[in-house]
Structures are given as structure tokens and as C-alpha cells.
Amino acid sequence: MRKEIENLQNEIIRISGVNPRKCMRCGKCSGTCPAYDEMEYHPHQFVSMVESGDIEPLLNSKSLYQCLTCFACVDRCPRGVEPAKLIEAVRLAAVRKQGQNHMTANDIPEKLDEDIPQQALVSALRKYSK
């Protein structure tokens, strides 16, 4: 089990290119995050939880799908940690598992309104499914 978590942790760190150990716990990422209120785990928690290997709760959290990828945290982090990239990697770790897509093409019609631009659909599918 320990080994499994370690592998997952290494995988997340590798594909995100983020070194969570550089974080100095200042919380600037969360201070600036527009999706903060919708998130159960906030950007700074993603960083410290990945660092400590506490990844399971993240994988099961809806917070994964609330990140807007607006990169505010990436730009403002004083240590160059880039939390958004880490969140993306955790999300991929979740949706890449068989049958774990957060949204599929079948879910879309009911959510659709006629003015919504294509770009929102492709973005959401890309973010939420594999």
C-alpha cells in the first residue's frame, strides 16, 4: 500500500513537473484562487497533501473539477511551485482510471443551453474525461 502511494506520488510529481517541496506554506495560491469557495481542498492543500502522500482524499474530492485552470496561482506563487499543474496531474490520475470519467459525452445534452460556445464543451470534456 505504501509503495502504491509512493508510486502515485512520484507519477504526479513527474507528469506535473512540480516540486511540492519548494512550497513554503504561504498560502498565496489559495488567497488568489477564484474557485476557492467551491473547493473542499484548496490549492495550498493540494501541494502539501501531495508532498505528504495524502493523495487518496484528493482523488475522491470534487475539488479536482472546480479548478478553472486560470493560472493565477501559477503566476503569483513566490516559490514557483505552480499548484495548478499539480491539481491537473492529480485530476488526470483520477480520470485515467478505468470508468472514472467525471463527465462523458452522454452527460452533455442535459447540461446544454443553446448559446454555449463549443469551446466550453471541448474544454470540459478534455478536463473531465479520458
Partner 1 sequence: MKVSYFPGCTLKTKAKDLDAYARKCAEILGITLEEIENWQCCGGVFTTARDEIATKLSSVRALNDAKEKNQALVSVCSACHNVLKQTNYAMQTDEEFASRANNYMQLDEAYLGETQVLHYLELLRDVVGFDKVAEKVVNPLKGKKIAAYYGCLLLRPNSVMKMDDPENPTIIEDLIRALGAEAVIYPYRNECCGGYVALENPDSAKEKSLKVTNSAKNAEADIILTACPLCKYNLEKNGADIPVVYFTELMAEAFGIKEDCNA
Partner 2 sequence: MQRIGVFVCWCGSNIAGTVDVQAVSEALKNEPGVVFSTNYQYMCSQAGQELIINSVKEHNLTGIVVCSCSPRMHEATFRKTAAAAGINPYMVEIANIREQCSWIHKDMEIGTEKAIILGKAAIAKVNLNAPLTPGESPVTKRALVIGGGIAGIQTALDIAEAGFPVDIVETKPTIGGKMAQIDKTFPTLDCAACILTPKMVDVAQNDKIRIFSYSEVEDVKGFVGNFDVKIKKKARYVKEDICTGCGVCTEKCPMKKVPNEFNLGMDNRRAIYIPFAQAVPKVATIDPNACNMLKSGKCGLCAKVCTAGAIDYTQKDEIIEEKYGAIVAATGFNPISMDKFDEYAYNQSKDVITSLEFERLTNAAGPTAGKLLRPSDGKHPHKIVFVQCVGSRCESCAEKGKEYCSKICCMYTAKHAMLTRDKYPDTEVYVFYIDVRTPGKAFDEFYRRAVEEYNVHYIKGMVGKISPEGDKLMVRGSDLLNNKQLTIDADLVVLAAAIEPDKSARPLATMLTASMDTNDFFTEAHPKLRPVESPTAGVFLSGACQGPKDIPETVSQASAAAAKVIGLLAKDKLTGNPCVAQANELMCNGCSSCEKVCPYGAITYVDKEFRMPNRTTAIRRVASVNPAVCQGCGACTVACPSGAMDLNGFLNKQIIAEVDAICK
Chain contacts with partner 2 (rule: CB under 8 A) = 22, 24-33, 36-37, 42, 44, 72, 76-80
User: What, of partner 1, partner 2, none, does residue 110 touch, CB below 5 to 8 Å by kind?
Assistant: none
> Rounded to whole angstroms, how far apart are CA atoms 109 and 105?
8
> Rounded to whole angstroms, how far apart are CA atoms 59 and 54?
10
Q: Is residue 121 a contact point for partner 1 (CB under 8 A)?
A: yes
Q: For residues 31 and 51, is the Cβ–Cβ distance under 8 A?
A: no
Q: Which is nearer to partner 1, 2 or 130 (CB)?
A: 130
Q: Which three cell numbers stand for residue 110?
A: 442535459
Q: Is residue 101 a contact point for partner 1 (CB under 8 A)?
A: no
Matching residue, cell 479520458: 130
Q: Is residue 61 a contact point for partner 1 (CB under 8 A)?
A: no
Among 1-9, 20-28, 47-55, 122-130, the segment contacting partner 1 (CB under 8 A): 122-130
Instruction: Return the HEC string of 84-122.
Output: HHHHHHHHHHHHCCCCCCCCCHHHHHHHCCCCCCHHHHH
User: What is the binding site for partner 1 (CB under 8 A)?
Assistant: 14-17, 34-35, 37-38, 65-66, 68-72, 74-75, 82, 84-85, 88-89, 92, 103, 108, 111, 113, 115-124, 126-128
